Structure formats: structure tokens, C-alpha cells
Amino acid sequence: MNQYKEKYTDPWTFTSEDNIKEYTILNNSSDIDPLMDRIGDSRFVLLGEATHGTHEFYTWRTAITKRLIMEKNIKFIAVEGDWPDCFRINQYIKGYPDAPSNVVEVLNKFKRWPTWMWANWEIVSLLEWLKEYNKNLPEYDKIGFYGLDVYSLWESLEVMMDYLQQEDPKVARLARQVFKCFEPYEQGQQYPEAVHQVTNSCTDKVIRLLADVRKNAPHYDNDPEAGLNANINATVVSDAEKYYRSMTSFDELSWNIRDAHMFATLEELMNFHGHRSKCVVWEHNTHIGDARATDMANSGLLNVGQLVREKYSQEGVILTGFSTYQGRVIAGRHWGAEMEEMIVPPAKSGSVEEMLHRDTPQDKLLVFDRNPVLRERFSTWYRQRAIGVVYRPEYEKRNYVPAILAERYDSLIYIDITTALNPLVFNQERRLPPDTYPFGI
């Protein structure tokens, strides 16, 4: 990171009057009109977050997503979550047979840490709105909700075995063989350690299983998306095995395996919904912001935002990052730790957050290529805050990514003071009061 140190300067001096003129101040959902204009007919809209536990990031993404659904004909939401868990959400909001009737019941199925990312009251509000919105739509027009991530190896195997037993007994036998290969390592060890011990014969079986499911998936018709579900679960199993094996080899390119999987899953969803379909993606800034405009590129790392831009820029790709100056956040002090509400201290000097706060301590929208002044100002290197599910505020200086913002994103939403997300586990009966949604969702 030292190589970027001399680049963290702000050669601009704005007066307060200049700042207000250059930024779009955010008070309600109508203030995102410049972003909606910039999105236009884009097929891919990627919405980030600077943390995985901030209330305002979820509610503003919800406000944007609702407008995309109603005004831009977005067909589905894809998130940084496990496929099996998110597919249950998809079944719930579409009213599929045998889907749970209660949204809290659906979200309480999220057992993998960090559970709060999707099992929270902000998501409850979105899902209840989606279910109501879908109620009177034809089957093929209902809005979907899917997980892109690669972590659910065991769950995806179990889902496939249960489903294939009914639909494709021959392939189900192969799925059971794969499960038996992994089963000795499921208990008592963490995933990376477990999968690294899996033999090559297991890997060969995984490859065969993936090929057989892909071949037969079009004929699975037990429910409207059965083939899609089986196909992506098989892909999760295959890519998860590669991902965890790479982790135990201390190979930093395990990051690339994960993001390549999320990109491939997104492509499969777009193909499933048709060549004119549109989507919105919810992931951390480190996944949706173009990696080529950060120090990730120096390590050979790529991400979803980069991959989507490289392949689909002609069809319309919008990357929107999120940032905060200070506030509170839900996170854990180490992987698997009990979640807690933590203080996010004021951003470090030289960071983009500190600079935006100094300009004017108001929530604001920046659309870079519609404002030459902002684009020029943010075409140099700054540190941008990045807080993950593991957070140690006492080591705050580590939580910044060197980035050229005007190249990393097409737009940025900055929230000056943020509040913590509202996990279900904190209070099963809690509902968010209306005044927590300044834009009336």
C-alpha cells in the first residue's frame, strides 16, 4: 500500500457553495433521478456496500431496486448469498407450491455465518414488498431473488440428492457418491481443511455430476425453475471444491475462483430469463467495483464488476458504490464470532470519505460521467473504506482500499452518518418503524 501513499492528496479546494452545486444531496427516493437517468436501459445494475452490516446501504439499495423494477423492468435481484438459501426466498416471493408462508420462517433458515447479511428486518421489508408486487403477475413476469456465492457445498449436495431422487434417480446415485466422498470431512473441520483432503477420485465424480446435471437439467420440470436450481447447485459443488482447495494451498487466486463463479452464475440467470432481461446485483464494493481501478489488479485479482464490464459494456453496465464517514455497524471480531454492534470511527485523513465529509456533511449522490468536475476530481488515487463481516475498529487503518473512484464506479452514494443493520436474531418480533425509511418504503 505504500506505493500509493504519495497519491493520497486532494488538490481541489471547493467552497461550500461549490460542493452543493456539484453533488446531488439525498433526502428521498426522488433524489436518485440522476442515477436512474444514467442507468437508462442498462441490462446490469450493480449496487455495492462498504460494509455488510449497515442499515442505510440496505434501505437505499431497496429504494433503487424498487424503482428499477417498476420503471426499468428489472427481472431479478442477485446477491452475495448462498444459492440454496436464496432460492427459498425466490420460491417464497413467487408463491411457489410448498414454499413457506412466513417470511421470517424463510430467513431463519439462513444458518451459515454471517447470518445477519440476509436474515434482517431490512430484507423482510423488501421481500414482503416483492411478494405483494409479484402476486398478480404472470409466472414469467415475477421478480426473482437468487444467490451468487460459492460457499454452500454441503447444502447444495443435499438439495440435489433430495431433488434428483425424484427426478433423475440415475444422476442421484452419482450425487450420493459425491456426497460420500466429502462426508468424512464434513464434521469437525472447517471447509478449507476438509476439502483439501478430498481425493482426486472425488474431484472426478464432481465433474461427472456437473456434466450429467447440465445435460439433463432442461428435462427437470417438477417446478418452474427446477432445472435452473439443479444446474446451479451442481455448479456450486464443482466450484466450491476448487475454491476451498485453492484456499488451503495459500493461493490468493481463490478470490478469482469465487468471483468467476458469481459471474458465471449471473450469466446463467440472465440466459435463463432471456436475452433482453435486466438484473440488479447486491454485493460488497470489493466485488462490484471494477478491480482494475484498485490495488487488486497488482495482485492479479479480478471481480464481478470487472468481468461484467469487460463482456457486457455494450449492453449497459452501471456500477454504483456506497461509502460512509462514520456511524455504527453489525460485524464480528473474527470469523464465526458472535455478531455485535460496533462503532465505525470517523474516516481517516486522506480517505475519500473524509474528503466528502469535509466538503459537506450531507448524504449525497455522485454520478461521475455526467459531471466533468467530479470525474476529474475523482480520477486520482484515494483510500476508500471497506469493512467486511470481520471488523476490528482498533485496526481501522487496515480497512481501506486504494482506488480511482471515477474508474471503479459509474456513481457513488455517500451516507455521512450510518446506523447498524437490524438482524432478526436480535428481536424476532421487531419491526422497523416507518421513520427509518426516509423515502417511504
Name the residue ranges covered by the structural domains of the chain: 2-147+278-436, 153-256
CA distances (Å), 237 to each of 84, 196, 222, 316, in order?
Answer: 12, 14, 22, 31
CA–CA separation, 310 vs 330, rounded Å?
A: 33
Inter-residue contact 346 to 393 (CB < 8 Å): no
* pLDDT the model gives residue 94: 95
pLDDT > 50? residue 7: no
379 versus 11: which is more confidently predicted? Answer: 379
Mean pLDDT of 206-217: 64
Amino acid at 286: T
CB neighbours of 205 closer than 8 A, spacing ≥ 6? 174, 177, 178, 181
Mean pLDDT of 71-91: 94
CA–CA separation, 360 vs 363, rounded Å?
A: 9
* pLDDT the model gives residue 352: 95
Mean pLDDT of 297-301: 91
* pLDDT the model gives residue 184: 54
Q: Is 428 exposed, middle or buried (0-12, 13-18, 19+ CB in 10 A)?
A: exposed
pLDDT > 90? residue 225: no
Report pLDDT digits (tens) over 171-192: 677 666 666 666 655 543 444 5
CA distances (Å), 118 to each of 48, 121, 263, 273, 304, in order?
Answer: 15, 9, 20, 24, 20
Q: Which fold has domain 2-147+278-436?
A: EreA/ChaN-like  fold (3.40.1660)
pLDDT > 60? residue 272: yes
* pLDDT the model gives residue 441: 42
pLDDT > 90? residue 31: yes
CA distances (Å), 79 to each of 36, 114, 145, in order?
Answer: 20, 14, 8
- Looking at the DSSP assignment, which residues form a beta bridge with residue 402? 383
pLDDT > 60? residue 337: yes
> pLDDT averaged over the chain?
83
pLDDT > 80? residue 207: no
108 versus 205: which is more confidently predicted? Answer: 108
Mean pLDDT of 416-428: 86
Percent of the chain beyond pLDDT 70?
A: 73
Inter-residue contact 368 to 405 (CB < 8 Å): yes
Mean pLDDT of 36-65: 97
Instruction: Name the H helices within 274-359.
Output: 285-288, 304-312, 352-359
Instruction: Name the H helices within 326-411.
Output: 352-359, 372-377, 405-408
* pLDDT the model gives residue 29: 86
Inter-residue contact 63 to 33 (CB < 8 Å): no
Percent of the chain beyond pLDDT 90?
A: 56
Give the number of C-alpha atoms closer than 13 A to the C-alpha of residue 65, restricted to the C-beta side: 29
